[in-house]
Structure 1
């Protein structure tokens, strides 16, 4: 472009940064921003916000904060989308204090008032940090502001409309926030009347959402995307109804929960700056992470001293986690990697009560909180430990031969950076190490899994992506040490297999650890 005498603009660099972020190449995205400055071009708020989005989605919060500083030093002013991008990243990383500081800077330094999405992220983070009074106050304050603008929760205004659009989504989002407040109120062991009041407000808002949903459905039935919008709204309502029912059931049929410091013996959070090679992690470091992201406060010194004693037994300070110190009973250990919001693992732990101990690992701390809350409210915490950690780091810190079963449910295939349909890294194919963005199921991960599985342990990978499973089978074959990976058997996925829509099923790959001969089998559920 430069050779032909053309001058790149802010839009040019914005497009280049966006392309790099979309394939997970954050280093290249930063390089394009540096090049824009060399060319004397301010890339603009869109390009910086795009980089912030990529960094936050990769969990690189410190780097995102540095990028924000670079943005401000270049004279580029953040907008509401910039702020909400950071708030979303803070929510995923459990950065409660950083989110409150960002809310302050938005208004005091940037002149950018928070919108409905800002409020959603901030309230969710405050609930995750068990700062229920602050969350309740923020919700009431935002309602008062809306009322001043002619749009209160009980009126027909649109001040709470978010990216989903429409008043139904606005009321449903508010109902979701009050449901979060009720949930956090229970976890904080507040008087139960407060949780009931929050649920009552949520029910009122859900009824308003249902009313507006009917009206909006009638007006857009003939429009494009009407079907998908309706399905999404129904999914959100069902999800919200399940959460509310879980809280209501606990209020009706269970005793009050223990104080946070006592029930957090089933929640571990690894520091997010552990180096690639697993370093030492102390019980004190685990305690600080619980304080930073999950609301553990220093107002119960006796309970926290006992918790620290347990955490010191789990983390030996030499880079290894002893999960046998988490559970009272010595039972087979089952682990789910990348467990999402924990519905599956909570159901499995309930079914395995007295038979097995479960650990689920999830890097996003908002999902970890939802899983931990679900486990507490359903009473499955006796044989379930919820871990906030990068799965690859967690595996490196487990004791060899300590796991009986390892589960990975519907893993995301890696994003390709190059051309063609090459196989994943470690499978022996020609795809280079730089051809895919960082992802979980690499050859190195499989070597870690092989190390922590017992001699007759099993790895189960569930997916509906046949091509990806073939690539994973090839990678396992190359790593070695697994049996029943490629031997012919019932339901094997053969080359050239085509599934019609009626035949489509989830694919399962069973991989049993073996110290002798590696093999492979891919089967259908």
Structure 2
């Protein structure tokens, strides 16, 4: 049926009947699964065990007991790699599956679709049930990042004479994406077309998610632009693409999609506006952001739902329309909706985010008056939400609500931070920010996850020149720096030496005095809260926060500006690539990693993840970059993952455990020894390089989720 065509036959009873039919189909599907399980119980033994133990394993992974009694208490004080990834990473546990090829081009061929020819109804039903069951197995492997197991199940299905469905392909595609194997995902998309299984919008959105994880905005745009009828872009695909742009800091590419939504018959929603607001703020486009807010408040983006000429939406008349602003029919505002409170909350949250972003951009630009106005508007949006809409959220998913509440708390923290900075400027307690000085100390390398160069290789003169030009262009394109800042360009030229490595003595001008100062580097730094607090506490040392995602790099940069610290700098890029290519040997005093992301959150040793940062190659690069007697400190709430890292470090003979203390400055007496490496329980103190305890965003998030145990490794470089 053509878009916006009236459907006079659709009323509330039809809606109820449609939902009843959906329920009946779900029951029939469950019955088919039950029948297949009864016929072939042996195929589901492992799945049942997996389901029974999944919660228990997740609990052990984060909140497992710290068995000090068994180990002692007390004592002394992301270019590409082959076909499957951009970076070498965690590749499972050495099981037989590790030798199985994950290249889709090696998979056996199959028929385009399952025919009835020569099959009884029972046989056809059995095949359908079998495909559904294997599809669920593959989906579970995708969630656990078990790519090889997923591929083995897929190949076995074909070898048994079955025909994978589009859902089977979509589940396998998700396994490639979740493990960062975008080359394999692209090959699988090509295979789908070859066998006549046309990718649907879910497959395209999954691919966009993958390009977001590897920050490949150009590939994401080619994919989005290539979506044609009957699989045209929808709002979810557009939002996923703009998220890619946010990760890369590409306002120009995001604008391109935002301006095309009308051509695609799409209406921007709350998520779209929130993402665009973030990018405009990062680019210091204060006037554009202000215009966006006005447009949203006037509902200028709505096309059909406010126009009665498009006919009444019968789902809306029945009490709830899932399509929201992208419905092609009129939404009568006089009809009460079941989810009205939740929708109003989403709108208020969006406006609060937009106003806070505007306040942030105006504060960075030194416009204190406008900053206070935007903060007041943000507070009004929160007040409207808190007054009457909390009750409408009770039916939301618990995890989604936890994430939403944590995001709101973080936004309120951001408001306090911006307000405190603006008040210091207003009262003359702090000088207006000189952005040039901070730009000159900010190095924004590529957000893409690339295969690091060969260890010991050097950069050519042309490559060094290209790096300098990229760093300058990145500040203009993603951070709002004026094109006329030649002073910054000269500073960048001095910071990047002739061999392509970073000269930290040029980055921090006080180092030219030849005084001996520690240089501390935090990798995977998140929003930079921790390193900023350390720099404020210890001004005799220099601190750098290195983060992959550009939106977080900008948060780090703003913290440097607001603090006014001259001993702190922000860096953006893939830590594995930066450590090997740009960090000169013996130039860093300490490296800190706070709350690293494990290959899989369940702690599954069989998980594949080419995006995993902490591996032996990265630890070798850290060892090379550290000064003599330099240290590495890793802090996390994931006991099992920390145990695996301790074993990895123990097997390398590059580091040895150091004495440590906790935040109370008491010796860290609770630890377990893993192959000679101590894994401490508690929060690290000054001996481990943590001058002051400062909660990061991840620390607060997991604490809200009741993950309160903490563990850390403190090791020193062995020459």
TM, length-normalised to structure 2: 0.61
Give yes or no for the alignment of 1:193 onto 2:347.
no
Map of 2:543 onto structure 1? 358
Shift of 1:75: 6.0
Q: Secondary structure at the match of 1:493?
A: strand
Asked whether 1:385 is paired with 2:569, we answer yes
Match of 2:258 in 1: 103
In the alignment, the residues of structure 1 paired with residue 198 and residue 164 of structure 2 have an alpha-carbon distance, to the nearest angstrom, of: 11
SS of the equivalent of 2:256 reads: helix
Q: Name the counterpart of 2:534.
A: 348
Q: Is 1:41 paired with 2:226? A: no
Distance in structure 1 (CA, Å) of the matches to 2:560 and 2:248: 20
- SS at 1:457 equivalent: strand
Q: Is 1:208 equivalent to 2:384 in the alignment?
A: yes
* Selected match of 1:67 from 223, 231, 246: 223
1:127 is aligned, of 281, 292, 314, to 281
After superposition, residues 134-213 of structure 1 pair within 5 angstroms as 134-145=288-299, 165-189=342-366, 191-213=367-389
1:216 offset after TM fit, Å? Answer: 2.9
Gaps of 5+ in 2: 1-156, 307-323, 325-332, 512-516, 661-667, 682-702
1:236-278 deviation line (CA, Å, top 9, x unaligned): 3332222111111122222563453343123210134676317
Counterpart pick for 1:15 among 168, 171, 190: 171
SS in 1 for 2:180: coil
The answer to whether 1:405 aligns with 2:580 is: no
Q: CA RMSD in A?
A: 3.4
Residue in 1 aligned with 2:438? 263
- Matched residues, number: 480
Is contact 1:473–1:486 with CA below 8 Å preserved after alignment?
no
Between structure 1 and structure 2, the one with the greater Rg is 2
Q: Which moved more, 1:333-342 or 1:371-380?
A: 371-380
Q: What are the Cα deviations for residues 447-493 of structure 1, in whole angstroms up to 9, with x where unaligned? A: 11001111111100012222222221222233322122799x94332
User: What's the CA shift for 1:318?
Assistant: 2.8
Q: 1:78 aligns with which of 233, 250, 253?
A: 233
Contact 1:333 1:403 in 2 (8 A): yes
Deviation at 1:514, TM superposition (A): 1.7
**2:671 corresponds to which of 488, 492, 496:** 492
Residue 81 of structure 1 and its aligned partner are, at CA, apart by 0.7
Alignment partner of 1:27 is 2:177: no
1:139, distance to aligned residue in structure 2 (A): 1.5
For the 8 Å contact 2:446–2:574, the answer to whether it is kept is no
Residue 297 of structure 1 deviates from its aligned partner by 2.1
CA distance in 2, matches of 1:460, 1:259: 33
Cα distance in 1 for partners of 2:166, 2:292 equals 37
Unaligned runs of 5+ in 1: 425-434, 516-525
CA deviation after TM superposition for structure 1 residue 142, in Å:
1.6
Of the structure 1 ranges 84-93 and 26-35, higher mean CA displacement relative to structure 2 is found in 26-35
Q: How many angstroms does 1:317 deviate by?
A: 4.6
Specify which of 240, 243, 246 is matched with residue 88 of structure 1.
243
* Alpha-carbon distance between aligned partners in 2 of 1:486 and 1:377, rounded to the nearest angstrom: 35
Aligned equivalent of 1:439, options 584, 589, 612:
612
The secondary structure found in structure 1 opposite 2:298 is helix
CA–CA separation in structure 1 for the residues paired with 2:614 and 2:494: 30
Q: Secondary structure at the match of 1:296?
A: coil
- 2:650 corresponds in structure 1 to 477
SS state at 1:404 partner: strand
- The answer to whether the 8 A contact 2:295-2:301 is kept is no
